[in-house]
């Protein structure tokens, strides 16, 4: 405990939790797995702090820990087919770039979180579940026009969020 | 946003949307889970503890004050007798109060016997006080205060005056603005009135002071005027003497006899004519 106060640790935890989860989600499919991995990584760091083991860079250490734990996790599970695509995608980006990317992803997640419920539902049916507009319209008993309209609005909101993020990160 | 960024946005959006799950990645919940597992008490919660402690304290003080005022609030026990009605009242310390008709007695049940034993009264009452030297007993009337440790005495309070008759033991009698209390011992009587504004020791003992209680009227070579006075008191009447007989004295004892029988006996004995009238005090 001597190395870092509980309050300071809490601040770091809250800052890094979601980005780290997004990072873990590059390896694992399930959000539950990602959250578990991140929790374990933090527990490991907390344990080290309690035993006065100095950690030079928390953020970098945590990302490293999450990556290693995630890889261990997917190595244990048989199904690794889908994740390789992302692994390949990541190989050429730097560690720093991966952190930024995870932070941007976390913001996008938050932006989706904040969409109005009905709009969010339609948006997710399309982008997450891969339903066609026609199918969504039938599923929810609404017109295709409404589906298009709602998805258009959702995309607009998310794009604006992204623009803000990009401006922030690249300015 | 240029095309390259647009491409990246599409890609990231797909990535995030694919994995998005309602209610997942809740940072606050995650921290709570983490903190409880690691046994971390949060700084924020310390402040909350303080707030909670402070509110609890305030509540406590509030209720405490309420409780104290509630507790100090008197809880009066009152006994009232109708004219002519006699009543024996036992106080919590088993002190006996024999109340004459048309009297009231009250005490605060919450503090009676705690440090002192205090009753307030009007009218006439005879006290047989349970001895307790640690907790003096006081009977208050509008004008006077009788304090005893343990004895029997009578207080006769009337508008404008109060008389005390001590039967056994010793009492301390204070009245009005008199600074000096008067100690009365067995057989002594004293009175205080608004007119005289001082305590007057009554040397002459009236054996009929307690007749309302003992149901016995005793006369021992008593002047006729005094006999009439006692009869008026006992029977609540106004007796007039139709025959002039200034030096008549009576020696007799009546045990709760009806008034006409008593008057008949007296009239025959002293050869006079006493006639009852309505008691104007009623």
Q: Among A37-51, B33-47, B74-88, B232-246, which stretch is predicted with the lowest mean pLDDT?
A: B33-47
A86 and A139 part of one domain: no
Residues A118 and A83 occupy one common structural domain: no
Chain B interface disruption, residue of A35, A66, A118, most B CBs within 10 A: A35
Verify that A39 and A73 share a domain, yes or no: yes
Tell me: do A10 and A85 sit in the same domain. yes
* Cα–Cα distance measured from residue B87 to residue B78, given in angstroms and rounded to the nearest whole number: 13
Give the domain CATH number at A141: 1.10.10.10
Q: Which residue of A has its CA nearest to B39?
A: A6
| Structural domain of A23 | 1-92
A108 occurs within a structural domain = no
Give chain B positions within 8 Å (CB) of A129.
Answer: none
Question: Which pLDDT score is estimated for A79?
Answer: 56
Residue A48 φ/ψ region, left for φ over 0, alpha for ψ in the -120 to 50 degree band, beta for the rest: alpha
Q: Please tell me whether residues A18 and A54 are part of one structural domain.
A: yes
Q: What is the pLDDT of residues A112-164, one digit of tens each?
A: 988 998 899 999 999 888 888 889 898 888 998 999 999 999 999 888 887 77
- Do A7 and A81 fall into the same domain? yes
Tokens of B22: 């309602």
More confident residue, A170 or A121: A121
Assigned domain for A101 exists: no
Domain-embedded: residue A105: no
In a domain, A82, yes or no: yes
Taking CB atoms and an 8 Å limit, are A29 and B19 in contact across chains?
yes
pLDDT tens per residue, range B175-229: 877 677 888 888 888 888 888 788 888 876 677 877 887 788 888 888 888 888 8
Q: Which residues of B touch A86 (CB under 8 A)?
A: 15
CATH number for the domain that contains residue A57? 1.10.1740
CA torsion B7→B10→B12→B13, rounded to 10°? Answer: 170
Single residue among A31, A60, A92 that ends a domain in this structure? A92
The answer to whether residue B280 scores a pLDDT higher than 60 is no
Q: Is residue A45 part of a domain?
A: yes
Cα distance between residue B75 and residue B73, in whole Å: 6
pLDDT digits (tens, 9 = 90+) for B100-156: 888 999 998 888 888 888 999 999 899 988 888 888 899 988 888 888 877 888 888
- Find out if CATH 3.55.50.30 is the number for domain B211-278: yes
CB contact under 8 A, B27 and A18: yes
Show me where the domains of chain B are located.
25-73, 78-202, 211-278
Query: Average pLDDT, stretch B244-249?
Result: 77
Question: Which of A10, A14, A31 is opposite residue B24, by nearest beta carbon?
Answer: A31
**Do A166 and A136 fall within a single domain?**
yes
Q: Is the pLDDT of residue B54 over 80?
A: yes
Instruction: Give the best residue of B3, B9, B10, B39 to mutate against chain A (max A CB count within 10 A).
Output: B9
| Token pair 């604006």 in the structure block, residue | A160
Residue at a domain's end among A92, A122, A157 = A92
Check whether A21 has a pLDDT greater than 90: yes
Q: Give the gap in angstroms from C-alpha B6 to the nearest C-alpha of chain A.
A: 9
| CATH-assigned architecture of domain B78-202 | Sandwich (2.60)
**Per-residue pLDDT averaged across B15-31, rounded?**
86
Q: In the prediction, which pLDDT does A89 show?
A: 56
pTM of the model: 0.46
Would an 8 Å CB–CB cutoff place B28 in contact with chain A? yes
Please answer whether residues B200 and B209 qualify as being in contact, where contact means their C-beta atoms are separated by less than 8 angstroms.
no
Is the confidence at residue B278, as pLDDT, over 80?
no
Same domain, A73 and A19: yes
Is residue B47's pLDDT more than 50? yes
φ/ψ of B281, rounded to 5, equals -75, -15
Domain contains A104: no
Residue A67 lies inside a defined structural domain of this protein: yes
Q: Which residues of A touch B14 (CB under 8 A)?
A: 127
Kindly list the residues from chain A whose CB atom is less than 8 angstroms away from the CB atom of residue B49: none
Tally of domains in chain A: 2
Identity of the residue in A6, A26, A106 whose CB atom sits nearest the CB atom of B43: A6
């Amino acid at each position: 405990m001597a190395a870092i106060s509980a309050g300071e640790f809490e601040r770091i935890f809250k800052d890094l939790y979601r980005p780290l989860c997004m990072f873990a989600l590059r390896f694992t499919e399930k959000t539950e797995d990602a959250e578990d991995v991140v929790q374990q990584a933090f527990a490991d760091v907390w344990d080290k702090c309690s035993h006065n083991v100095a950690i030079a860079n928390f953020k970098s250490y945590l990302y490293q820990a999450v990556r290693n734990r995630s890889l261990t996790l997917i190595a244990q599970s048989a199904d690794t087919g889908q994740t390789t695509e992302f692994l390949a995608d990541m190989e050429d980006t730097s560690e720093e770039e991966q952190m930024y990317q995870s932070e941007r992803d976390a913001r996008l997640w938050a932006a989706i979180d904040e969409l109005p419920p009905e709009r969010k539902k339609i948006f997710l049916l399309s982008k997450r579940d891969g339903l066609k507009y026609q199918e969504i319209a039938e599923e929810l008993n609404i017109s295709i026009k409404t589906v298009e309209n709602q998805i258009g609005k959702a995309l607009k909101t998310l794009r604006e969020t992204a623009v803000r993020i990009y401006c922030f990160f690249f300015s | 946003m240029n095309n390259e960024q647009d491409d990246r946005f599409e890609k990231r959006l797909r990535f995030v949307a694919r994995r998005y799950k309602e209610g997942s990645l809740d940072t606050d919940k995650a921290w709570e889970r983490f903190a409880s597992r690691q046994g971390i008490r949060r700084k924020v919660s310390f402040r909350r503890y303080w707030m909670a402690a402070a509110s609890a304290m305030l509540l406590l003080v509030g209720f405490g004050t309420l409780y104290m005022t509630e507790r100090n609030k008197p809880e009066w026990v009152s006994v009232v007798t109708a004219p002519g009605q006699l009543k024996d009242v036992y106080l919590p310390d088993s002190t006996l109060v024999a109340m004459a008709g048309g009297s009231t007695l009250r005490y605060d049940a919450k503090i009676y016997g705690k440090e002192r034993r205090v009753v307030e009264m009007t009218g006439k009452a005879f006290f047989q006080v349970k001895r307790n030297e640690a907790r003096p007993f006081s009977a208050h009337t509008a004008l006077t205060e009788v304090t005893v440790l343990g004895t029997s005495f009578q207080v006769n309070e009337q508008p404008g005056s109060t008389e005390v008759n001590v039967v056994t033991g010793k009492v301390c009698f204070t009245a009005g603005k008199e600074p000096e209390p008067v100690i009365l011992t067995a057989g002594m009587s004293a009175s205080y009135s608004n007119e005289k504004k001082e305590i007057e020791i009554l040397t002459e003992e009236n054996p009929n002071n307690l007749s309302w209680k003992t149901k016995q009227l005793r006369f021992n070579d008593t002047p006729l005027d005094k006999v009439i006075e006692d009869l008026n008191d006992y029977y609540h009447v106004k007796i007039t003497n139709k025959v002039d007989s200034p030096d008549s004295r009576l020696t007799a004892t009546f045990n709760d006899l009806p008034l006409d029988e008593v008057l008949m006996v007296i009239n025959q004995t002293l050869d006079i004519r006493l006639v009852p009238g309505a008691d104007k005090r009623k």
